[in-house]
Structures are given as C-alpha cells and as structure tokens.
Amino acid sequence: MNILVKVNLANVEAVSFDAVPPGTYRVSVERCEVTQSAAGNDGIFWLYRINDVISTRGSEDGTGIIGRTLVNNTMLMESSLPFLTRTLLALGTAPEDLQDEFDVDQEWCDSHIGKECVVTTRIRPYNGEPQADIQNMRALTESEAGQLV
C-alpha cells in the first residue's frame, strides 16, 4: 500500500540546532535501537537525554542544556567492541556479566532505557557542521546516584 501525503514547504524554514557544548553531563538512555549501517554492519543507536550539567568548558555556563539530547552509535564490529564495553560498564552492567556471549536485539536495547551515566563531550566536525561527540563515559558515583535530578 502506498501512502501519499501532500506537504507544502513553501513558507517553512529549515531548523538547525547548536551542538551541545563540550562538558560533562549526567544523562539517561532515552532510546536504544538495533541498527544497520549503509555498509551492512550491525550497530546500536543510543539517544541520551541530559539530566544535569556537571561542568562545561569554555564560556558556556550550562544554561539551556538540560533536556537536550546526545546521539551515539556503537558498531558491533570487533574493533568497536571496547566502546560497547565502556558504554555497558558506565550504564551499570557488572563486569562479570560481560564475560559471556549475549544477544543484542530490541528487547536487550529496551532493557537499557532509563539507565544513567556520566558522559564527557567534545565538539568535532561532521559533514562540515560542529557536532557534540561523546569522548568518555563513566558510571555515576554513589553521591551522584543518590542525588535527585
């Protein structure tokens, strides 16, 4: 079945967003999906929502950052598995639970929704535009985990 929707974009301006500034943020997983790249490689799409600003670099003071999102993709190729390990440890997976093989499917992805960690971002160019890039991740400290967001 083909669905046709008529759309008129004559008076609509394209929307753009400034990249989240470099900093350290408390985030939660809002979306996690199994994906496949154009080259056919399996991966995981992560969408993190910023819940708190721990620090920012430069002249940014953190205003307007809470509630914004950060995107991260993890390819499921041998060279990228250390990044998946880092992500899972930051999200609270016990190291011993990473010693055995496991299936990555949508149910597995859904089990990570709402989990929190701390990310450190930097800005890097992507298709000629500045984009926030997750440079590091870690688990919440005990005091951070005890704080209300």
pLDDT in tens, the chain (149 residues): 566 788 888 888 776 678 888 999 999 999 999 999 999 999 999 999 999 999 888 666 777 899 999 999 999 999 999 999 999 999 999 999 999 999 999 999 999 999 999 999 999 988 888 889 999 999 998 888 877 54
Alpha-carbon distance of 107 to 75, in angstroms, equals 18
Which segments of 1-149 are extended strands (E)? 23-36, 42-56, 69-75, 116-126, 129-138
The per-residue pLDDT for 9 is 81
